[in-house]
Homo-oligomer: A and B are copies of this chain.
Amino acid sequence: MTADGRSIGQPATARGQKTRQRLLEAAETVFGEEGFDRASITAITGMAGVAQGTFYLYFPDKKAVFVELVRELSSGLRRATAAAVEGLTDRMEIEERGFRAFFEFAYSHRNLYRIVRQAEFVDEEVFRWYYRRLAEGYVAGIEQAISAGEVRPLDAECIAYCFMGAADFLGMRWVLWNDRLPPEEVIQSMVAFMRHGIDARPAPEAAGGE
């Protein structure tokens, strides 16, 4: 990755873009199924249907395509979440829609967990970047909601990591281990727990069950 956040190997032509995208999609499957160490560039180009030499027009080596894949998954997840909450202003509604978008993203990117977790051992910098980048957007949203009196005055970064961790573990429990979206009652419990946890506005049901 470059310092200004621009993706490496970003080609100028539409056809080049498409080839690069095919390589990244193949890499997502190969790294997810084989793991970084056992994955080969040959397997990636084979699955992408391009000549092995073509790979090097886009990425210098196996690690470079892996790092770029983590960055693409990060921006894909952030785009999916942003689209899901577009136009919403209520923080609690934003949280709920955002969690649902995360579970759906993990469900449609079945190797997301394996790839992000491998990143810790392949390139710790991009692993930390992945979570810090997600946290940044979260912190900004929570701080705004605190200023607006919508959310209790808690440490915004703490809440961001609590929410990300809770979503990550529920996604692991249901999407990764059980190959399905979390059941609706689980999502309802999660949302109720989080809403009560941060909501600053007294509500009639604030002390009762859902």
Chain A residues at the B interface, C-beta cutoff of 8 Å = 35, 37, 114, 117-118, 120-121, 128, 131, 152-155, 157-159, 161-170, 172-173, 177, 182, 185-186, 188-190, 192-194, 196-203, 206-210
Contact = CB atoms under 8 A, between A and B. Distances in A.
Contact of A192 (B121, B152, B177, B202): B152
Contacts of A193: 152, 154, 158-159, 162, 197-198
A54 to B, nearest CB: 29
Contacts of A186: 155, 157-158
B162 A190 contact: yes
Contact of A206 (B37, B182, B206): B206
Contacts of A120: 114, 117
A189 B159 contact: yes
Contacts of A35: 121
A173 B128 CA distance: 9
A62 B159 CA distance: 39
Those 8 A-B pairs whose CB atoms lie nearest each other, nearest first: A165-B169, A197-B197, A165-B165, A162-B166, A155-B189, A202-B207, A153-B209, A154-B189
A117 B113 CA distance: 11
B170 A161 contact: yes
Given A117-B120, A120-B117, A206-B207, A196 B165 contact: no
A176 to B, nearest CB: 9
Contacts of A192: 152, 154
